Amino acid sequence: MPVTEIKLRFVKAFIVENNKGETILVDAGTPGSGKKLREVLEQRGVLNRLRAVVFTHSHGDHIGGAPELGLKVPLLIHEDGEKFLREGRWRKPVIHSRLYRVGFSLLSLFMKDDGRPLQSVEKLKEGEIIEGVNVIYTPGHTSDSVTLHLPHENVVIVGDTLQGTGSGLRLPVIYEDKDQLLESVRRIASLNPQFVYVSHGTSGKPRWPDEIK
């Protein structure tokens, strides 16, 4: 079951295809990313087999490109994030770093404050969404954060619950609940994945943050 990373501006989206050819797109990047995502789906020949777009959470760099996709498939997000897609809004990040706050303020100048209300939004629940792909609720970064677990491949797609560096995984400086975040990372680690796909930074074999040890 291949996972394809799609590098966008400063974030990534993912295509997941199972052994039956069923395919999902994970996240939609920032505004302006929709065209590239459609092109990649077409180039890989999976556009017509796409079952859903799954959002790991409702920050603007993950749902911002959704209105441009023009796909007639369900848009799946945890219930705490549904309103953002339905109302064309983005969840505001809770930033625990002065440097990141400055960077985010500069980035905001190049991103619209909101998107476009979307239809076909459905509640994403824990459990299997296509054969071989399970949804796990992993709050902390946001209250609507989820992780995708591919047990047969023993890999996870964690969104922003973790970030990748050259020396291993680290906790994000953007989070709503530190205790929930730590518990979610421990839950992910308990799966013993051999590979962790992150939306920011370097995906790879896990070296877990010291905070969870």
| Overall residue count recorded for the chain in this entry | 213
Its domain, for residue 149, covers 3-212
Confidence of residue 108 (pLDDT cuts 50, 70, 90): low
Dump pLDDT digits (tens) for 44-100: 999 999 999 999 999 999 999 999 999 999 999 999 999 999 999 999 999 987 766
Measured from the Cβ of residue 116, the count of other Cβ atoms closer than 10 Å reads: 12
CATH number at residue 132: 3.60.15.10
Count of structural domains within the chain = 1
Assigned token pair, 104 = 């985010």
- Phi, psi torsion values for 149, nearest 5 degrees: -115, 125
Classify residue 95 by its DSSP letter.
B
User: What number of H helices and E strands is found in the chain?
Assistant: 6, 13
